[in-house]
Chain A
Amino acid sequence: MSLYEICQLIQDSEIGTAIRESQIVFPVIESFHVLGLAISAGVIVLLDLRLTGLGMGRVMPAHIMRRLKSLYMTGFGIMVVTGALLFWAEAEKLYRSPTFRWKLVFLVIAGLNAAYYEVKYVPTMDTWDGKKELPAGAKLAGWCSLISWAAVIGFGRWTAYGLK
């Protein structure tokens, strides 16, 4: 069975069809998807702005990461669960969507970048005192995150717009 056929089966499943055809369930799930995104990506973007030196200069990166962890993890959780439900309802259409593939590519880049930052910089993050420049690699990771999340959001919105 090909990946395309699996996507067809998922979309045609009872639950997938029920979500897709519901006048209220689909919009509610999509709304939560966008607002989960606004919380998680919104906080991550503020961290990125701090890392790149564009803003949030009064707060240490370690504070943004640790103190706001529950906030952006909650947003991220909402986004993942609602995203899975939306995929359930439209798997076959999404398989055929080029913009959805780009979204996944940038999601993977954002994930790898976050994992790299976690391993490389989170252990020493507390020693940054805010007076000196941040490590160049951390700054780069901030830019990478900023660009890849913007792309995820952009391609995500475009996907919903052009889905047939």
Chain B
Amino acid sequence: MNVHAIFRWFDHCALATLIRDSTWAFAALEVVHLLGLTLLLGSIAVLSFRLLGRGLKDQTVVEIALDTSPWTMIGLGTVTLTGIVMAVAEANRLYDSEPFFIKMVLFALAVILTFTFNRGLTKAEPSAGAALGGGIASLLLWFGVGFAGRAIAFF
């Protein structure tokens, strides 16, 4: 069974048909996806800014990482769940979508960074170099995911 067959199967499964046939289900999923994205990107932006020596400088990086990480996780959980359901409903179209492929690659990298580097920030202050590199990488990857995601609708 190749990848395309899996995508085609998704496209025909009951969940996909249910969502496509409903007039409001997809829009509702989009709304929740966007609310999750706001929480995710907002908390990532605040932590990344702190890493770059800006923003919440009265607290340590560890303090900001501890405070933002639950909201990053809630946002990440929300976008992932709603994202999977929407992807299943549109699987056939997404198989050929270049922006979707780019989004998934960036998403995978961003998730790895979040669960390794960001997780470490809740335990110990990073070195100056790691803070700079991690802050820039985190901003570029996560906002890149957002841009690529928006592009799926248009290209």
Assign chain B's interface to a size class: 35 or more
A140 within 8 A of B: no
A46–B154 touching, CB < 8 Å: no
A86–chain B nearest beta-carbon distance, Å: 13
Pick out which of these stretches binds chain A: B10-18, B107-115, B144-152. B144-152
Q: Let me know if B63 and A71 touch, CB within 8 A.
A: no
- Residues of the A chain whose Cβ atoms lie less than 8 Å from the Cβ of B31: 153-154, 157-158
Q: Which residue in B40, B64, B150, B155 is a CB contact (below 8 Å) of A34?
A: B150
Which residues of B11-68 are within 8 A (CB) of A?
26-27, 30-31, 34-35, 37-43, 45-46, 49, 54-59, 63-64, 66-68
* With A58-B66, A63-B56, A157-B27: A27-B150 Cβ-Cβ less than 8 Å: yes
**A27, A37, A59, A150: the one within 8 Å of B151 (CB):** A27
Whether, in the assembled complex, A144 has its beta carbon less than 8 Å from a beta carbon of chain B, the answer is no
B56 near A67 with CB under 8 A, answer yes
CA distance A63 to B155 in the complex (A): 41
Judged by a CB distance under 8 angstroms, whether B71 is at the interface is yes
**Contact partners of A59 in chain B: CB under 8 A:** 56, 58-59, 63-64, 67
B101 within 8 A of A: no
Contact at B67–A58, with CB atoms within 8 Å? yes
Q: Which partner residue on chain B sits nearest A63 by CB separation?
A: B58
- Whether the Cβ atoms of A41 and B42 lie closer than 8 Å is yes
- A residues near B150, Cβ cutoff 8 Å: 27, 30-31, 34
Least CB separation from B74: chain A residue? A55
Q: Are A39 and B45 in contact (CB under 8 A)?
A: yes
Q: Is the CB of B34 within 8 A of A153?
A: yes
* Distance, CA A100 to CA B66, complexed state (A): 37
Nearest A-chain residue to B63, judged by Cβ = A58
- The answer on a CB contact under 8 Å between A37 and B56 is no
Q: Which chain A residues lie closer than 8 Å to B120 at the CB level?
A: none
Q: Are A43 and B27 in contact (CB under 8 A)?
A: no
B143 in the interface (beta carbon within 8 A): yes
Binding site for B on A (CB under 8 A): 23, 26-27, 30-31, 34-35, 37-39, 41-43, 45-46, 49, 55-60, 63-64, 67-68, 71, 150, 153-154, 157-158, 161-162
A-B contact pairs, 20 of them (CB 8 A): A27-B153, A30-B150, A35-B143, A39-B42, A42-B41, A43-B45, A45-B39, A46-B46, A55-B70, A55-B71, A59-B59, A67-B58, A68-B56, A71-B55, A153-B34, A154-B31, A154-B35, A158-B27, A158-B30, A158-B31
The 5 closest A-B pairs by CB, nearest first: A42-B42, A38-B41, A27-B154, A31-B150, A161-B27
Q: List 12 extra interface pairs beyond A30-B150, A58-B64, CB under 8 A.
A: A31-B146, A38-B38, A39-B45, A42-B39, A46-B71, A55-B67, A55-B71, A56-B67, A59-B67, A67-B58, A150-B35, A157-B30
